Amino acid sequence: MRRWCVIMFLFFSLLPSSAPAGEYREVTPGMRPSFPADFYYQNNFRVQWWYFTGHLFDEKGREFGYELTFFVVGVQKRHYRSRFGVNAIYISHFAVSDVQGKKYYFSENADAGAFDFAGAKDDELSLWVGNNILEGTTGQMHIKASDGEKAIELTLIPQKPLVLNGEKGYSRKSEESPLFASLYFSYTDLQTTGIVKLGETLFKVEGKSWFDRELSTRGLSEIEKGWDWFSIQLDDGGEIMLYLLRKKNGTLDGYSSGTFVFRDGTYKHLSPADFTVAATGRYRSRRTGAGYPSRWEVTVPSENLTLKITPLIEDQEFVASHSTGNSYWEGTCRVEGGASGRAYVEMTGY
């Protein structure tokens, strides 16, 4: 395991500045996702992920946030006679936020898939990294994850059609080149039922989840440092996705972007001129010393909407020392102001 930790740290450190291997497909302007195929593993892209976050409540109103992510990173495309040959590395991050207990639990997993402890199928929705599993169909997904202190087992059913972010699914990520991009689509409203387990205590829960799927071949560009990402789910039935790409010179990249999803499932693209995000507080991690924004004011003038977003737990930093080699803050938040609801916020590069 330690060897693969080192490999992943080097890979993610070098990926932003390295030209992608020619054997992997570039994401180019005009490309569109293909369904249902792009829900499944696609080995022609160098890096891809399936990303779940959600807000769950038990029968007594106790609240939990959760994050479950799966990454597949291509190392090379080669046929091996031995099962020990490595073409990809599989990674999963799993976190639960116990809002009432004010406690954040997180764990990580990484595996090369040599003994089928990890893998992904290219003809159905089936992906696993140790005990963390995604399976099902595009109309009903099932996720499971467990370690020594926590577990989830959830069924997720879309309540709205797929959202194609960016230009019909082509999502550019840098001013430097149109090749710094991903294919990016989401289910922004997934009815969610199942269980959360903390220690020996089992909670029957229901709530709402968000699913992101991205496929790419390049990482951040040379001019970029990190990003802030928001998935906002409003009680009135609307959703908002926003991401701010932060450049090393302290400014925002012009390809920061968003999507506004209406109650009826229709949606529109948001350019940087269509919204603002202002940090109104700061948090310093006791684990890593990193300083993060901790409260925000979000405005979408076209919808006459101003929102205040506040973390429900201050410490929701994920330290991924043994998989991706980085740390990031990702957590459940309260939404107030012009509308109420919940949000997940992710911040990297701090």
The per-residue pLDDT for 326 is: 86
Q: Which two tokens stand for residue 89?
A: 């590395």
In the predicted structure, residue 5 carries a pLDDT above the cut 50 = no
Domain ranges of the chain: 2-348
Q: Which two tokens stand for residue 249?
A: 């010179």
Q: How far apart are CA 135 and CA 155, in angstroms?
A: 10
In the predicted structure, residue 135 carries a pLDDT above the cut 80 = yes
In the predicted structure, residue 46 carries a pLDDT above the cut 50 = yes
Do 240 and 221 contact (CB within 8 A), yes or no? no
Under CATH, what is the fold of the domain 2-348?
A: AttH-like fold (2.40.370)
Instruction: Residue 186: name the closest of 167, 206, 208, 161 by CA.
Output: 161
Q: How far apart are CA 34 and CA 36, in angstroms?
A: 6
Answer whether 0.75 is exceeded by the pTM: yes
In the predicted structure, residue 78 carries a pLDDT above the cut 70 = no
